[in-house]
Structure 1
Amino acid sequence: MGREWEQHDEVEVDATPEQVWEAIATGPGYDSWFMGRTEVVPGEGGAVRTDLGGYVMESTVTAWEPLRRFAYRGDETPDGRFIAFEFLIEGREQGSTVLRLVTNGFLPGDDWEAEYDAMRKGGAMYFATLVAYLTHFAGRTATPITAAAPVVPDARGVFDRVPGALGLAAEPVAGDRVQVTPEGLPAIDGVVDFVNPDAIGIRTQDALYRFVRGFIGPMIVTHHLFAEGVDRKETEQAWRAWLTRLSA
């Protein structure tokens, strides 16, 4: 048993087709809004490789039409699991762009519902992060920061402590102000720009912060820092220490 699924997203952003293409079809562009670190080998038959800290997602580019269409499909596992993405770009007057994303795949097994729900929520967060990037940081490149909390029995409980640790209400909403200095890290001064049951996003003048409860495994942070001179290794260590304290 299993399920084929498909998701459609569409948005008009105040960014040019060139800026949108750069965001979705280059490694530095992906690093500015997606999880992990990504390398794109251009052209149909090329590759998209996303390193999640030891695990690498491998995909093949299935469509490459610069400024118009970009698609890729993940390698299929023996049980038929895969995920594929298709981005469609349409320039509009006044320099704006309509971006459409079609995501589809197959989830094997009788318990696909829970995984599909987590994938749907995660997809919503990353599409919102892409929109935030194109709206507020188009043309800039971020340093991607990924860190995981220790594995503990109550991963949900760790995520539930995040709002309090950020000085937010237990159930934050988009638009809430955030002014906090996490121990061992620079101050965060911004607004909540995304919330769902498994993720909290914060936007500042020079960063997109993302706090995520993993479907399987520990909670993670996947931040995108646009300030100059960020030491990625040192910053990831600092966020890992923050997550460790949160998990204690």
Structure 2
Amino acid sequence: MPNVGREWEQYDEVEVDATPEQVWEAIATGPGYDSWFMGRTELDPGEGGAVRTDLGGYVMESTITEWEPLRRFAFRGDESPDGRFIAFQFFIEGRERSGTTLRLVTNGFLPGDDWEAEFEAMRIGGAMYFATLVAYLTHFAGRTATPITVSAPAVPYAVAVFERLPEALGLAAEPAVGDRTRVAPDGLPEIDGVVDFVNRDAIGIRTHDALYRFVRGFDGPMVVTHHVFAESVDRKEAEQAWRAWLARLSA
């Protein structure tokens, strides 16, 4: 019986003021990835090398399929027995006067006859990560972040927990890009910044030294995936503090 599912592709393009070297550093090194993508990433450079992203208990393994420094970088995730995979292609083009054009082509295969909901979640999540990459290149290019990735407790009312989030962040019930907030979460540093991303499944806040991302997990608990550029950040202590904050939000 043939595998039911869907092949899919998504295309994104942006012009940023960062240099091609800064863009390459962001997309083709582990510390660069840690500064905008969720989890922690290690990268073995060169065609045939590996990209390993630890998402907190699950490690996503990928093989580098194209490696042309400052111009092209691509990798493809290991294919599962049911045919599922995801692949990324980045194209870098320096502009004549200054800045860089960055293009991203993402494609893959989702198995099963109920792939639509998962595809929609991936599309929405992909928009957040691309926007976070753009925010990093625009405001923090050349700097390295400490990645903070923590999941909320698994509860049957996960959607309701996400609906509590705007109030907990000092925002209106329906926040919009450009809204400002200044809130001191219990046990955590003050967040004084601006909403720089919103969609159905995520809220992003940018401060002078961090990119905060709050994500409603697909069919699961909320996840925070932050990138903190302040010096002397203890990642384990920060993750413990955010885990406690999420537990209080979920109670």
Same fold (TM over 0.5): yes
Shift of 1:54: 1.2
Q: Does the alignment pair 1:39 with 2:42?
A: yes
Q: 1:65 aligns with which of 65, 68, 73?
A: 68
Q: Deviations over 1:197-235 (max 9, x none)?
A: 100000000000000000032111000000000000000
1:20 matched to 2:9? The reply is no
**Pairwise CA distance, 1:95:** 2.5
TM (norm. structure 1) is 0.99
In structure 2, C-alpha distance between the alignment counterparts of 1:150 and 1:17, rounded to whole Å: 40
The structure 2 residue matched to 1:147, chosen from 142, 147, 150, is 150
For 1:66 and 1:216, locate their aligned partners in 2 and report how far apart those are by CA, in whole Å.
38
Q: Does 1:167 align with 2:199?
A: no
Match among 230, 235, 239 for residue 227 of structure 1: 230
Report whether the alignment pairs 1:183 with 2:169.
Answer: no
Give, in whole Å, the separation in 1 of the partners of 2:162 and 2:114: 23
2-structure distance, mates of 1:94, 1:134: 17
Q: TM-score, normalised by structure 2?
A: 0.98
Q: Distance between the aligned counterparts of 1:162 and 1:152, measured in 2?
A: 15
Q: What's the CA shift string for 1:126-161, capped at 9, x where partnerless?
A: 000000000000000000001111000011100110
Alignment-derived partner of residue 97 in structure 1 = 100
Aligned-residue CA RMSD in angstroms?
0.5
Q: Secondary structure at the match of 1:215?
A: coil
Percent sequence identity is 83
How many residue pairs match? The answer is 248
Select 1:217's aligned residue among 216, 220, 223: 220
Match of 2:160 in 1: 157
